[in-house]
Copies of this chain bind each other. A is one copy, B any other.
């Protein structure tokens, strides 16, 4: 409804509403999220799964240095999509909040509590001048008193709780795949399978173990854990999304 010239007039400063009530800088930060490779979260009956596309552009780069999935506390993992350096700031914030909770209350922080502390932090950067919004979305996955929980944060600072969700590139395609194939009663292994299959849907040449990250928190141990490269290769192979050698190494700009 608004022409392009008019839109430009309202998108330069974060503290300004457009005549139709939108915050363009926050919407542009969402575009930065879409420019990042995909991350997926899936809540299953016995735990939560995080999976992320972390292909790098060069065989000389250490795959482990492409940071998409982080351990925030023993029982919480966080996957990100978007501006990598911004993600690191929020992950650090999350870790500090988790530690403060241990120190202050002698117990592990709740998943919802942590999520809301992060979204409050994000919101400040959308209302007060002098800084830009965070150009990153997070998936916060964990187990709280035996219950698996999965949250998303977006650049506006809104928290959402999901059964299954994806952030970053190809969000629409992956969501369609998840909506079709997700079942609330699936177990953790089925969840991992669904996640890698969804990633495979949007990577036609298949996935390499080095090119993806997977993490889980199960309801029994309540511990963040990541499969070994060998285990990952087996999983990818089992779900028919393992790339043949050479294919997975294509460039990412």
A interface, CB within 8 angstroms of B: 6, 8-25, 28-35, 58-62, 64-67, 82-86, 88-89, 92, 116, 119-120, 122-123, 125-135, 151, 156-165, 175, 178-179, 182
Rounded to whole angstroms, the CA-CA distance of A30 and B85 in the bound complex is 15
Of A35, A84, A128, A134, the most chain B CB neighbours within 10 A belong to: A84
Residue of B nearest to A31 (CB): B21
From B6, B85, B92, B162, contact of A126 by CB (8 A): B85
Task: Please indicate the chain B residues that have their CB under 8 angstroms from the CB of A160 in the complex.
Answer: 61-62, 65-66
Question: Would A21 and B28 be within 8 Å (CB), given that A61-B161, A88-B123, A164-B60 are in contact?
Answer: yes
Nearest 8 interchain pairs by C-beta: A21-B31, A65-B161, A21-B32, A85-B157, A17-B28, A62-B161, A15-B132, A85-B123
CB atoms of B31 and A25 under 8 A apart: no
List 12 additional A-B contacts (Cβ < 8 Å) besides A16-B132, A60-B164, A85-B158.
A6-B8, A17-B31, A19-B31, A20-B28, A21-B31, A21-B33, A21-B34, A23-B32, A58-B175, A83-B156, A88-B158, A129-B130
In the assembled complex, the Cα of A60 lies from the Cα of B25 at a distance in Å of 28
- Are B19 and A30 interface neighbours, CB within 8 A? no
Provide the residues of chain B in CB contact with A31, threshold 8 Å: 17, 19-21
Give bound CA distance, A10 to B8, whole Å: 9
Bound-complex Cα distance A23 to B135 (A) = 10
Which B residues lie within 8 Å of A13 (CB)? 12, 16
When the two chains form their complex, are residues B86 and A127 in contact, meaning their CB atoms are under 8 A apart? yes
